[in-house]
Amino acid sequence: MAKPKTTPPEPMPDAGWPASFRDSLFYWTGLLEDRYNQLFVQAMRPQRVTVSRYRTLAILMEIADLTVNELARHSSIERSALSRLLDQLEREALIVRRPSRADGRALEIRITPKGRAAFLAMRPVRRAVLRRATEGIAPGEIERMRTVIQLMLHNLDDARPARKRGGL
């Protein structure tokens, strides 16, 4: 079979724009997160743990009494999928939902002792995958990467509308 002929990408008019998808930071961070999550799920397969389950319990370990909307924002889990997950976690007694003290129409979510134990059982596996991913990388480099990613996220969350190309 003949090797497919590749042509170099055409230069983009914007000097800061990646010429190839392989030059995009988001391509690489997406691959990194996917691989990290795949390895975690594989290791946790006997317990049927999902990334969404882990992420939800991890957030609730640190922040109590979140509404569904707040939890969706922190977890990046689509709201309807999160609601189904919360139903399951509540059936398993890993979380409780109760009316908000501030707004009785909203429900606040809190992790239970059983939920804490489930999270603590998953955490060593997640940390082992992280250690594997960061092997040979200096702590200062990891901290710098975290800072840059947080700055980029802040830039994307900034309330100012994005400028259109070619003008205003």
Separation CA 39–CA 45 (nearest Å): 10
Sign (positive or negative) of CA dihedral 20, 26, 27, 29: positive
pLDDT category at 19 given cuts 50, 70, 90 is: confident
| Residue pLDDT, tens place only, 133-158 | 999 999 999 999 999 999 999 999 87
CATH number where 59 lies: 1.10.10.10
Q: What is the mean pLDDT of residues 112-128?
A: 96
Residue 131 lies in a domain: yes
Separation CA 78–CA 65 (nearest Å): 19
Q: Which domain holds residue 149?
A: 25-155
Residue 4 lies in a domain: no
Tell me the average pLDDT of the chain: 87
- The three-class DSSP label of residue 66 is strand
Q: What is the largest CA-CA distance in the chain?
A: 68
Contact residues for 71 (Cβ-Cβ < 8 A; gap 6+): 56, 59, 60, 77, 82, 86, 109
Residue 164 lies in a domain: no
| Residue pLDDT, tens place only, 32-59 | 999 999 999 999 988 889 999 999 999 9
